[in-house]
Amino acid sequence: MRHKDERVASMAEILRGIRVLKLHVWEEHFLEKVLNIRKNELKYLKGRKYLDALCVYFWATTPIVISVLTFATYYLMGNQLKAASVFTTLALLNMLIAPLNAFPWILNGLTEAWVSLKRVQRFFDEKDSNLKDYFDQEPVEKRMSYRLNDCTFNWSEEEESEVNKDKEKRDPKITKSVLCFKTKSSGKRKLDPEEAGSSSENTTPVESPLNFSLKNINLNIKAGSLVAVVGPVGSGKSSLLAALLGEMNKVKGNISMWNVEGGCALVTQTPWLQRGTLRDNILFGKNFDGPWYKTVMNACCLTPDLESFRNGDSVLVGDEGMTLSAGQRARVALARATYQNKDIYLLDDVLSSVDVHVARHLYSKVICGLLKDKTRIFCTNQVQLLTNADLIIRLDQGSVCAVGTPLEILPEVDELCSFEQELVSDGKEIIPVKEKEQIVENEEEARETSAVSLKVWRKYGSSMGLFVQVMIFVSMVLMQSSRNVTDYWLSEWVSAETNTNVTRLLYGEYLTSKSYMLGYVLLAVINTLFTLMRAFIFAYGGIRAATKIHEKLVNKVVSSKITFFDITPLGRILNRFSSDTYTVDESLPFILNILLAQLFGLFGALVITINGNPWLCLIFAPLIPIYNYVQNNYRHTSRELKRLSSVTLSPLYSHINETLQGLVVIRAFRSLPRFIRTNEEYLENYQKTLFASEAANQWLNLRLQMIGVAIVTAVGFTAVLQHEFDVVDAAVVGLTVSYALSITSSLNSVVTAFAETEREMVSMERIGQYIDEIQSEVEAGNDPPYAWPCQGVVVFESVYLKYREHLIPSL
């Protein structure tokens, strides 16, 4: 599980930064990283699969080994083998096959459950974020928004050691809000503590980000004031906002906040947006208020953008707002915060992503306009905007250097003005979105509705290799044939014991009872060898298929066009690499192995039964259409439920990932209960499909048991008639009855295994969709002229560019 978690986390990292990877042509490097992790995962998978094969061998051969030991010992003790006792014993031993085969998987399931429970328990044991302990319970007077008395905050050294010690044991995005604030606002490093280090005057070592602390902070922030926080990079500006949110660890001191339950509005430097419509992002769970909504949109300069969008504010925004430019994301995040109408606003350099004239408009119309009566704590180095601030706080290396009015503080920070051009230039909106917004089209995941096509089965088989497929088939035939011949030989031995001590062969030779016993032992040994061959060949084929399928999937996804990532939620892609890949690795070969064993076993049982009692054909004939009707209904239902299960799991993954990305914003807005409810709804939708699948299984079991009762009744009735009229040997009747009893469970097992295999094959179908249907980037192109480039110039002549084939050219 550890390597699986590491692989999925690595894929999530690649998918989040896929644009950067493609622009820098880093795909090969990161592919190698994932495949190396996969190799480690496959090492453990091989060990587990070969151990499973050994278990299959032992538990599949146990009934026949026990039979040999039982009957041989019984004979050597001088007893005579009789049909009644022998085949009753044989039937009982055959009934042991199912529970014995299930036993190792039960142990394996219990082991995995125990490991999972311990992992979950470690997560539950993590300390929760408790605002009641963080903030003083004594209410601060209304004219004050914050009061900090001799406060020291840090990012917890304990968290750093735990993360570095065992990454898979905890997710730093979940367990501690500190890492969320520092990394998940945008999925990238953005907070000043990440850059924290020694001053230029000293040569002391750079301080670890998690060891960064705010020391001896004393502040009184009045309600309705505009407070600017300035300081060099790494001084702790963003850490101060985190401390005001309750996202840091309070070492000492007292901090009070007005209306803790109401929270505050947070706008991070790199905005976090949800996948959904633009309106949903701005409303953020609040009811729609038309006039106020229009006012906010105008103040945030979003009205011109809405006019350019084909669907207005109903345009779909991709994961993390990837279909919007950096400036648009910043304005949407500011509009979301403004629309909430909170009492306190924490703004972390929100104007660095927009042009100069847009920054001035937002500052005058929003920060000093719509929010003029709110408490605004504004981290920035654009000091030219701060002349009308009520209070300026200057930070350096985690300490407050100065607090005062603009006239008192701004002369001391003139050197920061040099940052202005750099910050503003980085925020130019260079990505047009008039057509780009049309990229996000399909919010619902498409799924197949018919039976799993033969192409999918062939694709999985071809991943094993033709030689492996042939060897699996041959080993299955040899294993089942040797088992049936062994039982038939036993019936001949019993018949010989009943009639005489010797049996004349066709060639005039005589076979003694001892020869029968030795032949029975030899046939049993041959059967165990074929069973061993079948178990390990199938294990090898499953490992080979898992290796090739994952390699094709990861290569196809990473090499796909960037538009694929624009229209596909991250959770939907990760579902292929987590749930679906796990199914192809573990569940699919396991259940397919069972299907083949049960199918060959059923065929062998039917051959023996009909050979011993041909009249049973009259019983089987009317039961076949009934059986076919039942299994068809179950298969169709089970298959669609599996597809629904996979489809409902993707939104759950997407929502969890989205929540982790914006956890700090969600908690600041006090919207966590709403996100928890949404998560529970997604989880309930997924669990509904699981419950329906279990109900379908019980429906099938009831009907197959009724068919089995009919078969056993018919076999018993015909056996009595044959004995009454003495038309067949007792040993043959005994063998027929013992096999007929196994037909009931075999019918049930075949239908269940086939339906389960088809269900699990849906994961192969979903992976195959990505492998076959995703369009890869075109690597080939026209070679540049010899000695190009000879000048530092790139020329475009009559070039038309568009995001997708059916869209109009963007350039």
pLDDT band per the 50, 70, 90 thresholds, residue 284: very high
Which of 417-420's residues contact partners 24+ apart within 8 Å by CB, and which partners? 417/383, 417/384, 419/381, 419/382, 420/381, 420/382, 420/383, 420/384
Q: Determine the pLDDT at residue 506.
A: 44
Instruction: State pLDDT tens for residues 631-651.
Output: 888 888 888 888 888 788 888
Q: Whose CA is closest to 556, among 322, 760, 777, 804?
A: 777
H runs (alpha helix) in 559-615: 562-567, 570-575, 581-582, 588-612
Least confident of 183-197, 347-361, 481-495, 650-664: 183-197
* SS3 letters across 663-677: HHHHHHCCCHHHHHH
Q: Determine the pLDDT at residue 209.
A: 54
In the numeric block, which tokens belong to residue 412? 């001391």
How large is the angle between the packed helices 83-95 and 466-499, nearest 10 degrees? 150
Q: Whose CA is closest to 220, among 372, 387, 390?
A: 390
Torsions phi, psi for 278 (to 5 deg): -65, -40
The rounded distance, in Å, linking the Cα atoms of 4 and 177 is: 25
pLDDT band per the 50, 70, 90 thresholds, residue 140: low
pLDDT band per the 50, 70, 90 thresholds, residue 210: low
In the numeric block, which tokens belong to residue 53? 């094969």
Judged against a pLDDT cut of 90, whether residue 366 lies above it is answered with yes
The rounded distance, in Å, linking the Cα atoms of 160 and 165 is: 8
Judged against a pLDDT cut of 50, whether residue 163 lies above it is answered with no
pLDDT band per the 50, 70, 90 thresholds, residue 181: very low
What is the DSSP-derived secondary structure letter of residue 416? Answer: G
- 277 forms bridges with which residues in the sheet? 316
The rounded distance, in Å, linking the Cα atoms of 142 and 206 is: 41
Can you say whether residue 393 is alpha, beta or left, with left for phi > 0 and alpha for psi between -120 and 50 degrees?
beta
Strands 265-267 and 344-348: parallel
748: how many CB neighbours lie within 10 A of its CB?
A: 19
CATH number of 132-433: 3.40.50.300
The residue-averaged pLDDT of 367-395 equals: 88
Q: Determine the pLDDT at residue 173.
A: 38
Strands 510-512 and 502-504: antiparallel
Judged against a pLDDT cut of 50, whether residue 217 lies above it is answered with yes
Q: Which secondary-structure segment (H or E) carries 511?
A: strand 510-512
The rounded distance, in Å, linking the Cα atoms of 393 and 133 is: 26
Judged against a pLDDT cut of 70, whether residue 165 lies above it is answered with no
Instruction: State pLDDT tens for residues 316-363.
Output: 887 777 778 888 899 999 999 999 999 999 999 888 888 888 888 999
Judged against a pLDDT cut of 50, whether residue 202 lies above it is answered with no
Torsions phi, psi for 395 (to 5 deg): -110, 150
The rounded distance, in Å, linking the Cα atoms of 303 and 309 is: 10
95: how many CB neighbours lie within 10 A of its CB?
A: 15
Q: Is 746 exposed, middle or buried (0-12, 13-18, 19+ CB in 10 A)?
A: buried
Q: Which one has a higher pLDDT value, 593 or 176? A: 593
Q: Determine the pLDDT at residue 300.
A: 92
Judged against a pLDDT cut of 70, whether residue 26 lies above it is answered with yes
In the numeric block, which tokens belong to residue 598? 């049960």
Q: Which residue has the tokens 């004594």?
A: 138
Q: Determine the pLDDT at residue 780.
A: 61
Q: Determine the pLDDT at residue 684.
A: 94
CATH number assigned to the domain with residue range 2-95+458-773, chosen from the 4 options 1.20.1560.10, 3.40.50.10330, 1.20.1250.20, 3.40.630.40: 1.20.1560.10
The residue-averaged pLDDT of 531-552 equals: 93
What is the DSSP-derived secondary structure letter of residue 787? Answer: T
Q: Where are the domains of the chain?
A: 2-95+458-773, 132-433
Cβ proximity of 365 and 351 under 8 Å: no
- 229 forms bridges with which residues in the sheet? 379, 393
The residue-averaged pLDDT of 499-507 equals: 47
252: how many CB neighbours lie within 10 A of its CB?
A: 11
Least confident of 86-95, 297-306, 369-378, 410-419: 410-419
Can you say whether residue 166 is alpha, beta or left, with left for phi > 0 and alpha for psi between -120 and 50 degrees?
beta
Rg (CA), the chain: 36
pTM of the model: 0.66
Taking the CA atoms of residue 662, residue 668, residue 672 and residue 673 in that order, the dihedral angle to the nearest 10 degrees is -160
Q: Determine the pLDDT at residue 74.
A: 84
In the numeric block, which tokens belong to residue 66? 């026990």
The rounded distance, in Å, linking the Cα atoms of 157 and 73 is: 69
The residue-averaged pLDDT of 219-227 equals: 91
% of the chain exceeding 90 in pLDDT: 23
Q: Whose CA is closest to 609, among 794, 787, 739?
A: 739
pLDDT band per the 50, 70, 90 thresholds, residue 428: very low
Judged against a pLDDT cut of 90, whether residue 613 lies above it is answered with no
Q: Which one has a higher pLDDT value, 414 or 323? A: 323
pLDDT band per the 50, 70, 90 thresholds, residue 422: very low
Cβ proximity of 417 and 384 under 8 Å: yes
Q: In one letter, which amino acid is 616?
A: L
The residue-averaged pLDDT of 101-129 equals: 82
Q: Determine the pLDDT at residue 781.
A: 63
Q: Which secondary-structure segment (H or E) carries 348?
A: strand 344-348
Q: How many residues does the chain have?
A: 811
The rounded distance, in Å, linking the Cα atoms of 762 and 576 is: 11
Helix-strand-coil split of the chain, %, nearest 5 = 65, 10, 25
- 250 forms bridges with which residues in the sheet? 153
The rounded distance, in Å, linking the Cα atoms of 331 and 353 is: 9
pLDDT band per the 50, 70, 90 thresholds, residue 104: low
Q: Whose CA is closest to 517, among 492, 482, 484?
A: 492
In the numeric block, which tokens belong to residue 316? 């779909």
In the numeric block, which tokens belong to residue 743? 């037909």
The residue-averaged pLDDT of 393-399 equals: 88
* SS3 letters across 479-504: HHHHHHHHHHHHHHHHHHHHHCCEEE
Mean pLDDT, rounded, of the chain = 80
